[in-house]
Structure 1
Amino acid sequence: MTDTPLARWERRTGAGLAAVSLLFLASYALRVLGEGLPGALRDLCLAVTLAAWAVFLVDYVVRLRLSGQRLPRFLRTHWLDTVVLLLPLLRPVRIVQAYQRVQRRRDGPRLALHARVITYAGVAVTLLGFAGSLALYQQEHGAPGADIVTYGDALWFTCTTLSTVGYGDLAPVTPLGRLVAVGVMVCGLALLGAVTGTFSSWLLQAFARDGERPPEGAPGAASGEDG
């Protein structure tokens, strides 16, 4: 296990940052969906959201200092951290990494690699879908000529887009709403590819264990019957 200052910081703060990420998502959801909430409660949700983002900023600065890299190189090597800082709605996805670190630290029984990939992808899809539907609803429901006017519409559009089905019955009309939709599309393709590739790899390994040749046309079928 890597024992650099940055790695130690990540191990110590992983679970706490995951909790702050969920708090950020919950407070943002209350502000977006709770239009009838008292003003004081909405202001409290805004304060929690900003405080959580401040925690993310502090974490980013500490990671930059501990990495020993200059800012341009850190931006290149830790581009995902930068994206998550600028788009904090993606932060809850890092809960998957926090869970993995906790399991590794406890050295307890873990799922097989293929099962972990599929499980983590499922968790990521759920969190991304919820965050994406919130952002889409916030941008679209009050726009002139909008198709997405309820949160149910936003959730339906996000689910069909993440699953790469895309019925086309609903579409965003605002620039930011379309940008969110593009992000959901990209994430849906990436996660679907990860799950499909992992399942295909598992099938090939199962065939190899049984000493069978994979079906003709399957990936890796030309590599031979036995390794």
Structure 2
Amino acid sequence: MSDSPPTPPRQDRWDRRMELPLTVASLVYLGGYAVRILARDLPDVWRDLCLALTFAAWALFVADYAVRLRLSGLGPLRFVRRHLLDTVVVLLPLLRPLRMVKLYDRVQRRQDRPRLTLYARVMTYAGLTALLLGFAGALTVYQAEHGAPGATVRTFGDSVWWTCATLATVGYGDVAPVTPLGRTVAVGLMACGLALLGAVTGSFSSWLIQSFRREDER
């Protein structure tokens, strides 16, 4: 049983009310960021609009964090300790699209009962997380690397290939980041890839063991 105190009712109502707006803002943020990086031939007015939408979405994330801090009744340090991931996401808003995984969980539930089994949910969430995290990582690495001296990541396709290899913990070595930002992203993707791969492998193994146990009992 968890020792964490329950979420205050006002904060819980706020979280539920803001779930969809924040998910939409996450998509807007990722879309605006992607357009600014990939559509380099766009007129300046459209690029400025994408930048404005990106900052507006980020401002909404910060405002939501501030409201939740106030409604929690906790001091800033205790709130940060209890919501460390949320704090990181505010500082690194490219991770915000991972909120869609949480929204997917709400959609899959009916009367507090998940429609998918535990193992299927773990593998589905891991797949969605890898897809969103990989896309955000590929964008960041491409932006940092494509014009750097000695870079091997020259196109967005190179960045996607490198991201897939990194998340899968394969690491072919044919392309690799050379900038500090690119290497920092690489470390994060390696850690996430190991965690996601472990979660999927463990869930699949548990499902197989459970299936074989049921057959033996019959």
TM-score by length of 2: 0.92
Corresponding residue SS for 1:211: helix
Corresponding residue SS for 1:63: helix
Aligned length: 212
Provide the identity percentage. Answer: 64
Q: Structure 1 CA distance, aligned partners of 2:172 and 2:191?
A: 17
Q: Which runs of 5+ in 2 are unaligned?
A: 1-5
Q: Name the amino acid aligned to 1:189.
A: L
Q: Name the amino acid aligned to 1:82.
A: T
RMSD: 1.7
Match of 2:128 in 1: 123
Provide runs of 4+ in structure 1 moved above 3 Å: 102-109
The 5 A counterparts of 1:38-117 are 38-104=43-109, 110-117=115-122
Change in Cα spacing, 1:56 to 1:173, as seen in structure 2 (3 Å) is same
CA offsets per residue over residues 20-45 of structure 1, 9 Å max, x none? 10111000000011111100100000
**1:147 matches 2:134:** no
TM-score by length of 1: 0.88
Q: Structure 2 CA distance, aligned partners of 1:194 and 1:68?
A: 34
Deviation at 1:66, TM superposition (A): 1.4
Q: Structure 2 CA distance, aligned partners of 1:115 and 1:17?
A: 26
Q: Structure 1 CA distance, aligned partners of 2:202 and 2:42?
A: 45
Q: Structure 2 CA distance, aligned partners of 1:109 and 1:57?
A: 31
1:180 to 178, 185, 198: 185
**1:29 matches 2:30:** no
Q: Which runs of 5+ in 1 are unaligned?
A: 213-227
Change in Cα spacing, 1:146 to 1:75, as seen in structure 2 (3 Å) is same
